[in-house]
Amino acid sequence: MLSTRAASRLTVATKVVVLAGRRQAALTALRTRVSVRSIQSAVQTDRDTITRLLYSLGTKREVERHLRIFSSCSNPSQPAKFAVIKIGGAVLDDVEDLALSLSFLYRVGLYPVVLHGAGPQMNTIIEGEGVKPEYIDGIRVTDAKTLQIARRVFLEENLKLVGALEKLGTRARPITSGVFTATALDSDKYGLVGKVTRVDKRPIEASIRAGALPILCSLAESNEGQILNVNADVAAGELAKELEPMKIVFLNEKGGLYHGVTGEKLDVINLDEEYDQLLKEPWVKYGTKLKLREFKELLDVLPRSSSVAVISAANLQRELFTDSGAGTLIRRGYKLFKHQTLASIGKDRLRQVIFERDEGVRTGNESVAGLLSMLENAKPGEWSIYADEPLDAVAIVSHPEGQIPVLTKVLASRSGVLNGVLDNVWNALKKDHQQLVWTASISPPTAPSPTSHPAQGEEMMDRSWHFDRADGSFTRSGRSLFWYGISDVSEVEKVVKGLEQSGRIGRSYLPVGPARAQLGGSRGYATLARRAAVPNGSRGYATHAPVPSTEPKRVALIGARGYTGQALTSLLNAHPYLSLTHVSSRVLQGYPLEGYTKSPITHTNLSVKDVERMEKEGEVDAWVMALPNGVCKPFVDAVERGSKERRGEGSVVVDLGADYRFEDGWTYGLPELYGRADIRASKRIANPGCYATSTQLLMAPLLPYLAPPAWPTVFGVSGYSGAGTITQPGEAGARPVTLPKVTPESLESGVRPYSLTDHIHEREAGHHLSKLLHVPTGLAAVANSKPRMQVAFIPTIASFFSGILSTLSFPLSTSTLSASDIASLYASYYAGERLVRIQKGVPAVKDVQRQHGWVVGGVQVHSGLERVVVVGGLDNLLKGAATQCLQNLNLALGYDEYAGIPVEGEVA
C-alpha cells in the first residue's frame, strides 16, 4: 500500500497531469482558431485549481498574500524578479517530484529562474572511469577530461528536467550557455574553473516573456570562447546579484540548515543580529561556515526585501506560500527601535514613509504636514514610534498619561510584511501597552489609477490582519474600530466616547442616529455595517471577548445515540477544559460510551427526577439536550426547578432541537450573525437548525438590497444523516445498532424532495432574519413595526452521508451590483469570522463534509433580471449542530469561542 505522503503526492500529481491535458486542449483550440477568451479561461481555471491546492499548505490568507507579493514582482520590463532557485545535483535524482514543485509555481503565473548543478552525477561517471574526484577548498579541480564529462552531464540533466516539466504541461527552455561570462579562477590551482565576471540576463528574460521557465546550468565561457566550470552555488549567487529577486532558494536533500549540537533545524537566521555569534559557535565549521559567509556576502549587496531559503523540493510551496515556512530562512535581520522624538527617527525619513504608505494621505483626507505637526506639538512622552532600522514597518502610538493608548498609524512596506518585521513591531508595542485602540478601513480596495502611487505594503496587510490581533471590533460605513485589553462592553463604549470627544480618533463610530445605506454605484456595499443589530439593542461585536476561562467544567449529554451526539462526543473528547461526565440514552443504557477516552463512561437512562436532583446538587455545569423535537421540555423544566434550589449559579442548557428556537427568554445561538454578548450572558441557548444556519448566513449580507414583497428562495440538498437515526437490537443481547432512518438504497442513489412547504427551518430562518431586515447601519435598535421576513425553502435529501448545499436565489433592489461586488460584500460582512470561508467557485459536497465551518461561493448575477444566485454549505452534523453547540457552550461558560474546535482542520 502507498504511504499517506506518497498517496497525497500521487493525488496532486494526477491533478497536475489532468491540468496539463487541459492546457494541451487549449493549445489545440488555438490551432483550430477558437477564441482567445476561451483559452485564457482554461489557463485561469488551471491557476484557480492549483491555488486551491495550495490552500492545503497554510491558511487561505497566507497563500493569497504571498501570491500577491510574488505576482507584484512580475514587471514586464524585468520579468525575472520572483526567485532564483538553485538545485543541487542530488535533488535531480528525484526529477518527477522536482518538476511537480516547479510546475505548481508556473501554474499560478510565477516564473522562477532555475539553475542546477550535477556534482553527484559527475562523480559517478568519473569514478566509473577509475579517476578520483579532486577538490581544493571545496572547489572541484577541473581538467580537460573532467570538463568534457561536465558538459555532457549538464546537458543530460538539463534536458531531463525540461522533459519532466513538459510532460506536466509546463513550458521550459534549456539554457546551457550564453548567460555567464568568466575568467579562469586560478588555472594552475583549479584548472578550468571560472570566476563569473558578467551575467547576461537577456536569454532568461526572453524565455519568461515567451511563457517558459528558464533552466540553466553553471557552465560559463571566457571572452576567448573557452568553456569553464563554475560552482553552482557561486553561479546562483552571481545570478541573484544581477536579477535582484525576492527569493533565492537553495534546494537540497536535508531541507534546511541544522544546529550542530542539538540537531534541530534552524527556522530563521537574522544575519545582522546573529551572524557574528554564529561564526563563533564550535559546530559552525567547514561547509556550514562557508555557506553562511556566502549567504551574508550575497544578501549584503541585495535589497533588504531579498532573502535566502534552504529547503527540500517537496516543501518548496510550504516555504514560499506560508508564514511559518518549512526550511531555513536567512535574511539580513531587523533591529527594532523605539523613538520618542522626530530627531531620533529622522523627520525627513518619516515624512517619506507617511507619504508613500498612508491611506489617508494618498486619498487627500490627511496631510503629512498635519501628522508631523501633531507629533511636534505633543507634550514629551505622549507618543512613541516603533520601527526597524530601515523603516520597513512603522507604528505610531499616542499614549498621554492616564489615557488609553491609540495606535495612530501602522505603515509597512512589502518586505516589512513578507519578512515578519511588522509582526515584530506589533509584539514590541504590545509589550508596552496592555490596552490599545485603533481604526482601519475594511472596505474592499479599489483598483489604483494609472497615475496614483501604490501603497508599498498596504495591499499586503489584508483586513484579517487587524481582526486577528484584536479582542473586539465593530464596523461602520466600511471602517472598523478595533481594540484589545478591554473585556467589558460598557467599558468599550465609554472609552470610544471619550476618544471621539477628545478628537483622538478622527470620526464618529458610535451610533449617531439612523444612517442610510448608499446604493449609488457599483461599490455601494462598502458603506454597509458588518454586524446587524440584535433585539435588545446590544451590539453584535465581531470578536469581542473577555479573558477566556481555563477552569475545568462538566457536561451532561441527554440523547447520545444519534449522529449529532456522536459528533459532539468526539469534540468534547478533544476539549482542553470540558469533560463529559454523564450521557443518557434509553436504548443504550448500560453500554459503554464509544469515542470518548478521557474517562470511562457508561450510558445511563436519566429520568426527569434524576436531572432535577443533579442540577440541585451542582453535579454538572452544562446540559446538552440532543433529543427529538417536542421531547425536551420536561428535562428543561427539571433543570429550572433544580437550579432554584442550587447554591451558586445554575447550569447552562443548550437545546439542539427546535423546541425553544422561537421562545422568549432563550438566546438564539448563531454568533456570526446575532453577536456573542447575549450568548455569554445566557443560561438558555437554542442551537439553530442546520438548514436554517446556512440559509441565514447566506441571506444576511444581502438584506439591505431586498425590496419586499419580493422574497428570496433557497433550494437545499442534505445528506441522509440529516433524517436522523433508528436503533435496532443487537444479536444475542449484543449492543444495539444505530442505523440511519433513510438509507442510500432507499433513495436509489438519487434525491428525494420532502416538506415542500412550511418546513420548520423556513419559519425559523424568516423569524430570526426579521431582526436584521432593513436595519440601516447595524448599530441601531430594531424597530417593532418592520415587516416579517419571508423565506421560501425547498429541502431535498440525497444519497451522500453528511453535508448541506443551499442555493439561494435573491431578488435585488438594484442593478448596480456585479458578482465581484457581492463576493466582496460577503468578505466584508464576515471579515474576522474564523468559521466562515469565502471561495470563488461553487461549493461542492467535498468542500463541506467533515468541516467545522460554513463556506459560500459561486456568486452569479442574472444578466437580465435583478437577481443574484449564491451557494452556501456546511456539514449538518458539525457547524449545523455539534460544532455550533460547542461554540455556544464555550461562550456561555466563559471559554474561548473556538476551544476544542479544529478551526482549519477536519474531524479526526
- DSSP result, 164-207: HHHHTT--EEEE-SSSEEEEES-HHHHBSBEEEEEE--HHHHHH
Q: What angle separates helix 633-644 from helix 608-617, to the nearest 10 degrees?
A: 30
Distance CA 478, CA 471 (A): 19
Q: Is-catalytic flag, 690?
A: yes
Please report which residue ranges of 391-527 form alpha helices under DSSP H. 414-418, 421-432, 463-469, 489-502
Q: How far apart are the first and last CA of the chain?
A: 21
Distance CA 357, CA 56 (A): 32
Among 296, 387, 378, smallest CA distance to 338 is for 387
Map grid coordinates 558578467 to a residue. Answer: 198
Q: Amino acid letter at 588? A: L
Find out whether 640 and 663 touch, Cβ atoms under 8 Å: no
Distance CA 52, CA 256 (A): 26
Find out whether 615 and 638 touch, Cβ atoms under 8 Å: yes
Find out whether 326 and 311 touch, Cβ atoms under 8 Å: yes
Which residue of the set 73, 632, 690, 885 is catalytic?
Answer: 690
- Side-by-side strand order, sheet with 383-388: 336-339, 383-388, 393-398, 406-412, 436-441, 479-484, 472-476
**Residues 724, 729, 732, CA angle at the centre, nearest 5°?**
155
CB neighbours of 647 closer than 8 A, spacing ≥ 6?
618
CB neighbours of 628 closer than 8 A, spacing ≥ 6?
559, 657, 724
Strands (E), 22-98: 83-87
Find out whether 299 and 330 touch, Cβ atoms under 8 Å: yes
Find out whether 203 and 187 touch, Cβ atoms under 8 Å: no
Q: What are phi and psi of 782, to 5 degrees?
A: -80, 130
Residues 583-588: contacts with CB under 8 Å, at least 24 apart:
583/556, 583/557, 584/556, 584/557, 584/558, 584/559, 584/560, 585/559, 585/560, 585/561, 587/561, 587/727, 587/736, 588/560, 588/561, 588/727, 588/735, 588/736
Catalytic site positions: 690
